[in-house]
Structure 1
């Protein structure tokens, strides 16, 4: 599988993992303090071939994602669940630990995030769905992120992430129903 866009990853080990899964070019940020020269490379890549941001599902990975998005809009975003980003020994988390199949699936599901001024999904909807302000909210947000392929986010950022991916209300409701069904079956 060959990827046209250039994939932005955190480091060399991520590049190695990407190359085990697909044929693609990468840009490495070399940590969460993304330099201006790396931003310039990403801008050029976006203008010529397009970019997929594929960072680790942790705080530094999200920080990198936000830094790049603020300066280079219209990049696609690929996400891995924490489970798929853990090594067999359970120590650490990152793209470099994911299986080639998991990497291919995440890249295939890459989404474009756009600024959206109005969301069909209100804060009240999030509260009623048990995604914010209650016990089990974190776990439900993790499940929602997996189902919608938008990655995990905290309660404060969930509404913004749903807007950026332009998740339709009916898709959101269907995902919440699936999560509630799974909880009833546990």
Structure 2
């Protein structure tokens, strides 16, 4: 049984999570998150902790930000888009139990102390921003670091708020370069 409560977007996500692990969930009912749901999430975070596990798309990212703002210090699970895709639909409900367990095993905790080792200049030097293939490179590195895909500014914020070390970043960059070459 997972101690924390997993925040998902809807009923189908709850079903998929419960196929993979024994856990309690709170459903946001999509991006129209009500105040009562946010209060339940904040209480759950105080009492048991919360894992935010939203769809790897724009709406899921918006929900993740709202929940994290109302319940600081949450853990985050990220599912790569290709593991959440079925007939053009992206969602946790489409993921295999193995993919869900993998995502939940690679949790990241956001911290308020934003003093990470990875700088904006590191992202520029690595071709993750201001580069013709920056989007694809961020997708690969985000997957390797377990922080998901994001635009350049959000990727930098994730590197700092999840305290990605320079050593972790450099290892992910080497792996990405190997993947792109091979």
User: Could you state the TM-score of these two structures normalised by the residue count of structure 2?
Assistant: 0.97
Aligned counterparts of 1:93 and 1:52: Cα–Cα separation in 2: 20
Q: Could you tell me how far 1:119 is from its partner in structure 2?
A: 2.5
Instruction: Indicate the residue corresponding to 1:142 in structure 2.
Output: 139
Instruction: Indicate the residue corresponding to 2:121 in structure 1.
Output: 124
Deviations 1:47-73 (A, max 9, x none): 111110100000100000000111110
Does residue 102 of structure 2 align to residue 105 of structure 1?
A: yes
Instruction: Indicate the residue corresponding to 1:57 in structure 2.
Output: 56
Asked if 1 retains the 8 angstrom alpha-carbon contact of 2:79 and 2:99, the reply is yes
Aligned counterparts of 2:137 and 2:113: Cα–Cα separation in 1: 24
Segments of 4+ in structure 1 off by > 4 A? none
Deviations 1:136-167 (A, max 9, x none): 11111011111010111101211111001100
Asked if 1 retains the 8 angstrom alpha-carbon contact of 2:144 and 2:172, the reply is yes
Instruction: Indicate the residue corresponding to 1:160 in structure 2.
Output: 157
Q: Could you tell me how far 1:177 is from its partner in structure 2?
A: 1.2
Aligned counterparts of 1:157 and 1:51: Cα–Cα separation in 2: 21
Asked if 1 retains the 8 angstrom alpha-carbon contact of 2:115 and 2:163, the reply is no
Unpaired stretches in structure 1, ≥5 consecutive residues = none
Asked if 2 retains the 8 angstrom alpha-carbon contact of 1:115 and 1:163, the reply is no
SS in 2 for 1:83: helix
User: Could you state the TM-score of these two structures normalised by the residue count of structure 1?
Assistant: 0.95
Q: Could you tell me how far 1:173 is from its partner in structure 2?
A: 0.9
Q: Could you tell me how far 1:91 is from its partner in structure 2?
A: 1.8
Unpaired stretches in structure 2, ≥5 consecutive residues = none
Aligned counterparts of 2:102 and 2:181: Cα–Cα separation in 1: 28
RMSD: 1.0
Q: Could you tell me how far 1:116 is from its partner in structure 2?
A: 2.9
Does residue 130 of structure 2 align to residue 151 of structure 1?
A: no
